[in-house]
């Protein structure tokens, strides 16, 4: 959530940057400023009323002590009127604060200055590419056909048990999945991230804290009886560890990692581009999260990008990095880099990771602060990234490592799988 003082002091900049998202935010921003002026006026009236009431209470006490009971009773009647006024002002103030917050919840984060203007993923900016695209043998198959051929993932069985988008991994497919999770966690902890095992359901406050609510409410599975939500990513429970927390500056930076299943109701449209593992309702992901000093967060973002690059280099998968344009940027993000692996069998790029800096947007919702060198509380910056999402990484491995004799396992994963080929 954007901070009102920032909006007031940078009105034109906020409107200009939000235009990168193809949003004309001028009316919303003007409403925020107007609501805040009304809020401040009500707060000033309430403060003056309470101050006057307190002063009268002290005077009444002195009058009673001095025996001026009649005069004290007159003032006492006045304090009763002031209490009614303060009650009315409090109700109006609370209503105005609520209306202001409801408006602020609808405004996305301000894009970083480096975010390119654009409407769709076609306007994203490629900033890096690495790895050779393999030359596959004649008759090479997409991963959903390979899964069936080698009996390692059963999409039909998942459909029977639950529905479309809930695959069943088995045999070497399950072991490869487990190997990837362990490998990703080992890489992350070796880089200094502390591993957490996190809840797979969160409460409403956690959803609001990281910005999934109310923006993505329709995409989350909702357990209505308990008003809990299945997590769409470990970012939600992981970042909410720090909700309503004041850190000391010496505790920064903080880095955590965790593996969780992820659940998304809106799995997209039909067609070959969403077949198999390309888009699921339930999938596994290993996440990295950081809480940073504002002065260091973009250097930390570069470090996270380099960390994911190192993993993909070890897996020897061809990949590229995109800087997302304003129209493709997530609601809470100020700057996002997407990683895509090239699927040779499908002849297309598959998104496998997003690494983002949210600046103070989440921290303001979370009330995540640190005490700076001046002894004042200051909002921290939050960052997160997939390191990595498994389905499309697995799809890339199955398709790019296939041979006529079977599917080879990336060398770095063999100690985790215990086998070197699926055949």
For residue 289, what are the β-bridge partners? Answer: 256, 384
CATH number at residue 315: 3.30.930.10
Chain position carrying tokens 């389905």: 391
322 with 406, same domain: the answer is yes
Written in H, E and C, the secondary structure of the chain is: CCCHHHHHHCHHHHHHHHHHHCCCCHHHHHHHHHHHHHHHHHHHHHHHHHHHHHHHHHHHHHHHHHCCHHHHHHHHHHHHHHHHHHHHHHHHHHHHHHHHHHHHHCCCCCCCCCCCCCCCHHHCEEEEEECCCCCCCCCCCCHHHHHHHCCCEEHHHHHHHCCCCCCEECCHHHHHHHHHHHHHHHHHHHCCCEECCCCCEEEHHHHHHHCCCCCCHHHCCEECCCCEEECCCCHHHHHHCCCCCEEEHHHCCEEEEEEEEEECCCCCCCCHHHCCCCCCCEEEEEEEEEEECCCCHHHHHHHHHHHHHHHHHHHCCCEEEEECCHHHCCCCCCEEEEEEEEECCCCEEEEEEEEEEEECHHHHHHCCEEECCCCCEEECEEEEEEEEEHHHHHHHHHHHCEECCEEECCHHHHHHHCCCEEC
409 with 260, same domain: the answer is yes
183 with 46, same domain: the answer is no
pLDDT of the chain, 423 residues: tens digit per residue: 999 999 999 999 999 999 999 999 999 999 999 999 999 999 999 999 999 999 998 899 898 889 888 888 888 899 999 999 999 999 999 999 999 999 999 999 999 999 999 999 999 999 999 999 999 999 999 999 999 999 999 999 999 999 999 999 999 999 999 999 999 999 999 999 999 999 999 999 999 999 999 877 788 999 999 999 999 999 999 999 999 999 999 999 999 999 999 999 975 544 556 789 999 999 999 999 999 999 999 999 999 999 999 999 999 999 999 999 999 999 999 999 999 999 999 999 999 999 999 999 999 999 999 999 999 999 999 999 999 999 999 999 999 999 999 999 999 999 999 999 999
Residue 359 backbone zone (phi > 0: left; psi -120 to 50: alpha; other: beta): left
pTM: 0.92
pLDDT recorded at residue 214: 85
pLDDT recorded at residue 70: 85
Show the domain range for 71.
4-105
**Residue 349 in domain:** yes
Cis bond leading into 214, ω under 30°? yes
184 with 80, same domain: the answer is no
84 with 140, same domain: the answer is no
pLDDT recorded at residue 273: 61
341 with 220, same domain: the answer is yes
Strands 222-223 vs 228-230: parallel, antiparallel or unpaired: antiparallel
- Are 234 and 198 contacting, i.e. CB atoms less than 8 angstroms apart? yes
**Residue 310 in domain:** yes
* Domain total in the chain: 2
């Amino acid at each position: 959530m954007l901070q009102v003082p920032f909006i007031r002091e940078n009105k034109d900049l906020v409107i200009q940057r939000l235009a990168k998202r193809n949003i004309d935010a001028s009316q919303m921003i003007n409403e925020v400023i107007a609501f805040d002026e009304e809020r401040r006026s009500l707060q000033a009236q309430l403060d003056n009323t309470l101050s006057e009431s307190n002063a009268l209470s002290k005077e009444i006490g002195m009058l009673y002590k001095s025996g001026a009971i009649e005069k004290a009773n007159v003032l006492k009647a006045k304090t009763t009127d002031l209490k009614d006024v303060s009650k009315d002002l409090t109700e109006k103030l609370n209503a105005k604060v609520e209306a202001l917050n409801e408006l602020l919840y609808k405004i996305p984060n301000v894009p970083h200055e480096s975010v390119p203007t654009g409407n769709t993923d076609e306007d994203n900016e490629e900033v890096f590419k690495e790895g050779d695209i393999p030359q596959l043998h004649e008759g090479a198959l997409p991963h959903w056909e390979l899964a069936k051929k080698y009996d390692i993932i059963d999409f039909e069985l998942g459909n029977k048990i639950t529905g479309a988008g809930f695959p069943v991994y088995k045999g070497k497919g399950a072991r490869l999945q487990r190997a990837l999770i362990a490998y990703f966690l080992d890489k992350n902890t070796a880089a200094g991230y502390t591993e957490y095992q996190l809840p797979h359901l969160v409460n409403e406050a956690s959803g609001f804290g990281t910005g999934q609510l109310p923006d993505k409410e329709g995409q989350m599975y909702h357990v209505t009886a308990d008003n809990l939500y299945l997590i769409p990513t470990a970012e939600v429970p992981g970042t909410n560890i720090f909700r309503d927390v004041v850190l000391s500056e010496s505790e920064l930076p903080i880095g955590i990692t965790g593996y969780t299943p992820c659940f998304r109701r809106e799995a997209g449209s039909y067609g070959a581009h969403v077949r198999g593992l390309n888009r699921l309702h339930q999938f596994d992901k290993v996440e990295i999260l950081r809480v940073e000093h504002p002065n260091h967060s973009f250097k930390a973002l570069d470090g996270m990008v380099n960390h994911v690059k190192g993993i993909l280099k070890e897996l020897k998968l061809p990949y590229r990095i995109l800087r997302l344009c304003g129209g493709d940027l997530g609601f809470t993000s100020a700057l996002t880099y997407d990683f895509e692996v090239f699927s040779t069998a499908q002849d297309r790029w598959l998104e496998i990771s997003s690494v983002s800096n949210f600046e103070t947007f989440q921290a303001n919702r979370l009330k995540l602060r640190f005490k700076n060198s001046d002894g004042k509380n200051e909002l921290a910056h939050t960052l997160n990234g997939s390191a990595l999402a498994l389905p499309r990484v697995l799809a890339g491995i199955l398709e790019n490592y296939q041979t006529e004799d079977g599917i080879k396992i990336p060398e770095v994963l063999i100690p985790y799988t215990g086998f070197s080929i699926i055949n």
